[in-house]
Amino acid sequence: MLDLNRFDDIVDTFQFINDWDTRYHFLVELGEGLPQLDGIYRVDENLVHGCMSKVWIAAEPDDVKPRILHFVGDCDTATIKGLVAVLIALYSGHTPQAVLEIDADQVFEKLGLYDHLSPNRHVGVYAIVEKIKEISRRCDSKCRDEPMHQCQRAELQTGVS
């Protein structure tokens, strides 16, 4: 799982790198650094629809702070896997309500990523963000009055509500 503070490191590195080729290689390295996705998450319910690549996104509640989500994911293409890593770092470590308030467009604009993504990859990023927010909405509505770990661990793993 990515460190909660790693997103700040990603932003700092992107701002330090001046040319797109080096940024692209850094993005691929981020994807390569994602932990191996457990097979329990590789189910149809966790597939991101609207993305040309095969992308799986799921979440786990924090063991200590059960209202906090940690996202996991994988992809079958290097560039999108790097974008998945950026999004996981951006959205992990927050409550479902906070996840819903994060504006990925602002972040990608700040990182200079949108300028270099094809229209198809833009659509894929939006689909991944929507999947993350869908998971967060489901967690927030299902688990509003009880700790998430009591009602969601199996649900998050399979995407079934």
What are the residue numbers of the active site? 51
8 Å CB contact between 45 and 159? yes
**Cα Rg of the chain (Å, integer):** 15
* 3-class SS shares of the chain: helix, strand, coil, % to 5: 60, 10, 30
Helix axes 104-111, 119-142, angle to 10 degrees: 140
DSSP of 65-98: STT-EEEEEEESSHHHHHHHHHHHHHHTTB-HHH
Nearest to 69, CA basis, from 134, 145, 160, 161: 134
